[in-house]
Amino acid sequence: MWDSIIKPALVLFLVCVVITGALAVVNRVTKDVIEQRINAEQEEFRRQLLDDADNFAKIELEPGNEAVKDVYAGYREGEFEGYVINVTAKGYGGDIAMIVGVDKNGAITGIIIGDNEETPGLGTKAFEPDFIDQFDKVSVNDVLTVVKQSRKSSNEIQAVSGATITSKGVTQGVQAALDISKKLMEEGD
């Protein structure tokens, strides 16, 4: 019984303990490095979206808008340049992480799409320049709507054919960024 059941089970248990310990050590060693790289990547995205800014300050928000995750105010030599907003929108495949830049005049400076589970070759077309470029003439005073036909005004966003849910999700995320930017600008933050 010792050789056939207990000894192999004991050996397997010891192997699991050693591997678990090794994974815990590796996690502890790499955790800070991974966090630093993520923070550096986020800082680089902020600089891409608001290239006039030379530093960013995180704004503490009151709970309320689930789509808005973080807001950073960008400054150049102490002068306000705009906001960079991290938002999460609901797409067809799940959440779509996005970063939206809004300048001091309330115009969108760019959109970066992050983690998502949208259908490759279909839903992901909403992340391509043909779709994203529709937001170039949008400002904080616009209320965005998604249309299936050709656009008639700058606040209309033409959906990607076959990816209407993803198109609406991205548009709702951009609208959330515009809304929080407008609110902050009106409050003078």
Could you give the 3-state DSSP secondary structure of residue 145? Answer: strand
Give the per-residue pLDDT at 2.
67
Predicted confidence (pLDDT) at residue 63 exceeds the cutoff of 80: no
Give the per-residue pLDDT at 45.
85
Tell the residue number behind the tokens 């054919």, with chain if given: 161
Q: Which residues of 33-61 are buried (b: 16+ CB within 10 A; e: fewer)?
A: eeeeeeeeebeebbbebbeebeebeeeeb
List own/partner pairs for 10-13 with CB under 8 A and 24 or more apart. none
> Computed from CA positions of residues 142, 143, 145, 149, in that sequence, does the dihedral angle turn out positive or negative?
negative
Look up residue 63 and give its DSSP letter. S
Could you give the 3-state DSSP secondary structure of residue 83? Answer: strand
Q: Domain range holding 170?
A: 50-187
Residue 95 domain-assigned (yes or no): yes
Look up residue 126 and give its DSSP letter. G
Residue 64 domain-assigned (yes or no): yes
Residue 67 domain-assigned (yes or no): yes
Instruction: Give me the number of domains the chain comprises.
Output: 1
Residue 40 domain-assigned (yes or no): no
Residue 39 domain-assigned (yes or no): no
Q: How far apart are the first and last CA of the chain?
A: 74
Q: What is the pLDDT of residues 11-27, one digit of tens each?
A: 899 999 999 999 998 88
Predicted confidence (pLDDT) at residue 188 exceeds the cutoff of 80: no
Query: Mean pLDDT across the stretch 38-61?
Result: 86
Q: What is the pLDDT of residues 134-169, one digit of tens each?
A: 998 888 888 888 888 888 888 888 888 888 899 999
- The answer to whether 108 and 87 are in contact (CB under 8 A) is no
Give the per-residue pLDDT at 108.
93
- Which tokens belong to 20? 């678990």
Look up residue 7 and give its DSSP letter. H
Residue 36 domain-assigned (yes or no): no
In this structure, the number of other CB atoms found within 10 A of the CB of residue 105 comes to 10
Of residues 141 and 64, more confidently modeled: 141
Q: Which residues contact 142 (CB under 8 A, 6 or more apart)?
A: 154, 155, 178
Q: What is the pLDDT of residues 74-124, one digit of tens each?
A: 999 989 999 999 999 999 988 999 999 999 999 999 999 988 888 888 888
- pTM for the model: 0.78
